């Protein structure tokens, strides 16, 4: 890739701001993952219901992406992004001041956190519209790498909750939210191309196109897997391997770092060899990872925890058994496949639906959210019924293979129709 040409092709302040907006929004969206260990402990919520609670922000992030995408097309991405950030900050400020006192309170908070997840429908098309087709993979990979926020969550939130209490965490998170809001407001500039007025009819028309459904399905596997694991793995690691809350956070940070850091690489690879070929290989990698994880046994519980004074006690990072480290490695490899798969899907979407990128981002992003919701729910249901996570992981190990079959089915048609005139590798 010609770096000089890339810099001249678009508007880098908008690309940077879109990345930061998505980064802090993603951090807020998945904060219930690591915090669930502490909030549910205080509220005495059983394990199966914990998985439901961490899935609520994912579900509403999926629901809200379409209306937020429509709003962005009506009033402009910048204004829509500013409004969404203000609402999320207001919700975070309320919890910081008044706390959460029931399961219902947590569920309502999850709805507002879902609006942070809906930022996907603003940030990605905001960056995409500035760049030509040949740079779409790397541009959307960079903007989408904002999901690095889950890494920061996993590393920092448990330590803050242990030291200051989980309620104070919401106050700490307001600091980066406010800083990014100011940067975004100053630097972002909407692309000069004329936006089309969008209504539900536009979504209905796209849903009649089979390609839309394929992209939605592919993204429900890749992004759904990434965000679902980001939210559910703290519960999985603390219960399956008996690690402490801080250790679980570090394990999740290692895992999701693979998905976050490799997303731009996935877009770059897709630009070079074509999104279809890249995604096909990545689906195989993801499927194998899920199958291995499904068969891994639980780890032993510590006899005497050296972290007995911790709010969520268990093995320390360098004390935990080898099986826990092995599990982290397998998840890390799978997350690399998921992250690169995200970049590969969004190398293809703008090539097929350039003029409808805002609407398609909402639809595809929503499908990714639904995929994450069902992964977290599947883990909870699997444990509730069998006291094991095997069934849930086996289900999600099969989905990438179905996705691979779908790619083989559409490959020839895509490459000989819109792919042939796209000006990019397909």
**Residue 10, pLDDT score:** 72
Largest Cα span, the chain: 65
**Residue 14 clears pLDDT 70, i.e. is over it:** yes
Q: Residue 30, SS3? A: coil
Q: How confident is the model at residue 194 (pLDDT cuts 50, 70, 90)?
A: low
Is residue 64 one of the residues assigned to a domain? Answer: yes
CA distances from residue 57 to 36, 110, 112, 148 in whole angstroms, order as listed: 12, 4, 8, 17
75-130 pLDDT, tens digit each: 888 999 999 999 999 999 999 999 999 999 999 999 999 999 888 788 877 887 77
Q: What are phi and psi of 196, to 5 degrees?
A: -85, 140
In this prediction, residues 335-346 reach a mean pLDDT of 93
Rounded to the nearest integer, the mean pLDDT of the chain is 89
Which H or E run includes 31? none
Domain that holds residue 135: 11-187+207-421
Is residue 326 one of the residues assigned to a domain? Answer: yes
Is residue 193 one of the residues assigned to a domain? Answer: no
Tokens found for residue 63: 């629901």
CATH code, 414: 1.20.1250.20
Is residue 95 one of the residues assigned to a domain? Answer: yes
> Which is more confidently placed, 38 or 358?
38
372-420 pLDDT, tens digit each: 999 999 999 999 899 999 999 999 999 999 999 999 999 999 999 998 8
CA distance 287 to 351: 27
239-293 pLDDT, tens digit each: 999 999 999 999 999 999 988 888 888 988 998 999 999 999 999 999 999 999 9
Structurally, the chain folds into a number of domains equal to: 1
Is residue 298 one of the residues assigned to a domain? Answer: yes
Is residue 194 one of the residues assigned to a domain? Answer: no
Nearest Cα residue to 236 out of 283, 303, 282, 294: 294
352 and 364 Cβ atoms separated by less than 8 Å = no
Is residue 195 one of the residues assigned to a domain? Answer: no
Is the overall model pTM greater than 0.85, yes or no?
A: yes
**Residue 1 clears pLDDT 60, i.e. is over it:** no
302 secondary structure, DSSP code:
P
Is residue 255 one of the residues assigned to a domain? Answer: yes
Tokens found for residue 300: 């032993």
Residues paired with 315 in a beta bridge: 243
**Residue 244, pLDDT score:** 93
Q: What are phi and psi of 243, to 5 degrees?
A: -95, 165
């Amino acid at each position: 890739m010609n770096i000089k040409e890339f810099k001249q092709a678009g508007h880098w302040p908008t690309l940077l701001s879109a990345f930061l907006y998505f980064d802090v929004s993603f951090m807020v969206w998945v904060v219930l993952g690591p915090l669930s260990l502490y909030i549910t402990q205080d509220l005495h919520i059983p394990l199966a219901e914990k998985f439901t609670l961490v899935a609520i922000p994912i579900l509403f992030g999926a629901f809200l992406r379409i209306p937020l995408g429509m709003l962005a097309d009506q009033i402009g991405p910048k204004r829509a992004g500013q409004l969404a950030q203000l609402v999320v900050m207001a919700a975070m400020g309320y919890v910081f001041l008044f706390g959460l006192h029931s399961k219902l309170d947590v569920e309502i908070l999850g709805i507002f956190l879902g609006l942070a997840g809906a930022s996907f429908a603003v940030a990605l098309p905001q960056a995409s519209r500035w760049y030509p087709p040949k740079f779409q993979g790397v541009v959307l990979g960079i903007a989408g790498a904002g999901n690095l926020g889950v890494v920061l969550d996993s590393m920092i939130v448990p330590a803050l909750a242990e030291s200051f209490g989980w309620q104070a965490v919401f106050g700490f998170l307001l600091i980066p939210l406010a800083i990014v809001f100011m940067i975004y407001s100053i630097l972002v500039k909407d692309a000069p191309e004329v936006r089309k007025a969008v209504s539900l009819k536009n979504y209905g028309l796209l849903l009649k196109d089979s390609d839309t459904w394929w992209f939605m399905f592919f993204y429900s596997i890749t992004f759904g897997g990434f965000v679902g694991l980001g939210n559910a793995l703290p519960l999985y690691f603390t219960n399956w391997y008996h690690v402490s809350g801080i250790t679980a956070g570090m394990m999740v940070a290692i895992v999701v770092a693979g998905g976050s850091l490799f997303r731009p690489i996935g877009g770059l690879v897709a630009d070079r060899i074509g999104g279809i070929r890249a995604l096909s290989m990545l689906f195989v990698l993801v499927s194998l990872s899920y199958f291995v994880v499904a068969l891994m046994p639980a780890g032993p519980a510590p006899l005497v925890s050296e972290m007995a004074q911790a709010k969520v006690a268990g093995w320390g990072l360098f004390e935990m058994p080898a099986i826990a480290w092995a599990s982290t490695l397998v998840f890390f490899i799978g997350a690399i496949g998921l992250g690169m798969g995200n970049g590969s899907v969004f190398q293809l979407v703008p090539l097929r639906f350039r003029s409808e990128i805002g609407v398609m981002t909402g639809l595809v992003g929503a499908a990714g959210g639904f995929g994450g919701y069902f992964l977290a729910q599947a883990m909870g249901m699997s444990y509730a019924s069998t006291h094991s996570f095997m069934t849930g992981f086996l289900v999600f190990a099969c989905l990438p293979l179905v996705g691979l079959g779908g790619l083989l089915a559409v490959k020839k048609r895509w490459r000989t129709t819109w792919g042939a005139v796209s000006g990019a590798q397909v």
